[in-house]
Amino acid sequence: MINILARLKNADLAGRGGGCFPTAQKWEMVKKAKGKRKFVVCNASEGEPGIKKDYYVLDKYAKEMVEGMELAIEYLKAEKGFIYLNPVYYKKFNRKLKKLCKNNKIEVFCKPHTAGYVGGEETSAVNCLEGRRVEPRLRPPFPTNYGYLDCPTLINNVETFYNISLIARGEYYGERLYTINGDCVWTGVYELPEDWTIEKVLRETKNYPNFEFFVQVGGDASGEVLNSGQLIRPVGGCGSITIYNLQKHDFLKLMQNWANFFARESCGQCTPCREGTARLKELLHTEKVNWQLVADLLNNLSESSFCGLGCAVPLPFESFVRNVVFHYPDEDINLPIKERKFICDCFS
């Protein structure tokens, strides 16, 4: 039997769900946690707009993903595993996955339509598996100690389990999956070295634009926005890059789209996020936007929200203003010069 933990440590694999937590460390935490019953969850909820890598794995490498789960179940001596699928993926892949899991301890589980984006957060996923209200739990304790049925639970992403199977086979070469979207020719999912910069990924996939552009990295809702001079850094997070043609996208419309998403997907558990996202949407759809109030509201969301959704709301807005609105020449930004300066001052 292979020493899978040693191989994970040697590969220095980080989780591919966005948090980038060291995989071997998480496995050790669950292994050492007190409790005779242990569980494994493959999180395939993939609710962030613009990210399609989990779909790619489920479509092309489902067998390898299941093998990665089986290695985790064996290492932990876990009682059971779950593949936690969003409804679209469940409809598409449940038959194939059930066939692959026919002779093992893994159950294919469909996340309810009503669970939404927050249903992908790991403690929300645990609540969903237990039949509880789908909302985040207070942490600590973490699922590694108190997860499904209050037992130690390992939760990893689809791509992470796929990578684990490659590591076990000796076929992992430090690559990861990148989703490339937006104003480019060759959209899709690519398997490339994880240490490549954003610029290199775009150039090597022949997606580097020949026009003024900016990018959003990590998802089309909560991802950070960068200008074309900030691309000499690894992608990180969920490995998503979306390209925006500077001339094609309206400044306010883009912000409204983000606000609409967060207001729709807030689970409503905490007041700052429930009321804050609704108010943000309302503010950005008024005829004359109160930018100082928008900036103050975003700051409040980051400081007082209960879970990652509310805390993530400010990132796209603030990075967009600082890295794009503030950065490009006046003629490239469709805003009156005085209003633009005021907006930048509010977010400085």
Q: What is the pLDDT along the chain (348 residues), one digit of tens a residue?
A: 579 999 999 999 998 887 788 999 999 999 999 999 999 999 999 988 999 999 999 999 999 999 999 999 999 999 999 999 999 999 999 999 999 998 889 999 999 988 888 888 899 999 999 999 988 888 889 999 999 999 999 999 999 999 999 999 999 999 999 999 999 999 999 999 999 999 999 999 999 999 999 999 999 999 999 999 999 999 988 899 999 999 899 889 999 999 999 899 887 778 877 888 899 999 999 989 999 999 999 988 877 777 766 678 899 999 999 999 888 766 667 677 777 888 888 887
Residue with tokens 């926005």: 225
Query: Both 230 and 258 in a single domain?
Result: no
Query: Both 201 and 215 in a single domain?
Result: yes
Q: Are 224 and 315 in contact (CB under 8 A)?
A: yes
Q: Are 301 and 309 in contact (CB under 8 A)?
A: no
Query: Both 193 and 138 in a single domain?
Result: no
Q: What is the pLDDT of residue 332?
A: 65
Residue with tokens 């590591």: 167
Q: Are 242 and 275 in contact (CB under 8 A)?
A: no
Q: What is the pLDDT of residue 102?
A: 86
Q: Are 133 and 148 in contact (CB under 8 A)?
A: no
Q: Are 168 and 2 in contact (CB under 8 A)?
A: yes
Query: Both 210 and 127 in a single domain?
Result: no
Q: What range does the domain containing 201 cover?
A: 175-245
Query: Both 268 and 323 in a single domain?
Result: yes
The residue out of 220, 245, 270 marking a domain boundary is 245
Query: Both 30 and 148 in a single domain?
Result: yes
Query: Both 240 and 259 in a single domain?
Result: no
Q: What is the pLDDT of residue 185?
A: 92
Exposed, middle or buried, 279 (CB in 10 Å: 0-12/13-18/19+)? middle
Query: Both 136 and 59 in a single domain?
Result: yes
The residue out of 195, 210, 245 marking a domain boundary is 245
The residue out of 192, 221, 245 marking a domain boundary is 245
50: left (phi over 0), alpha (psi -120 to 50) or beta: left
Query: Both 181 and 289 in a single domain?
Result: no
The CATH number of the domain holding residue 308 is: 1.20.1440.230
DSSP 56: H
Query: Both 26 and 122 in a single domain?
Result: yes
Q: What is the pLDDT of residue 345?
A: 86
What's the domain count of the chain? Answer: 3
Query: Both 27 and 106 in a single domain?
Result: yes
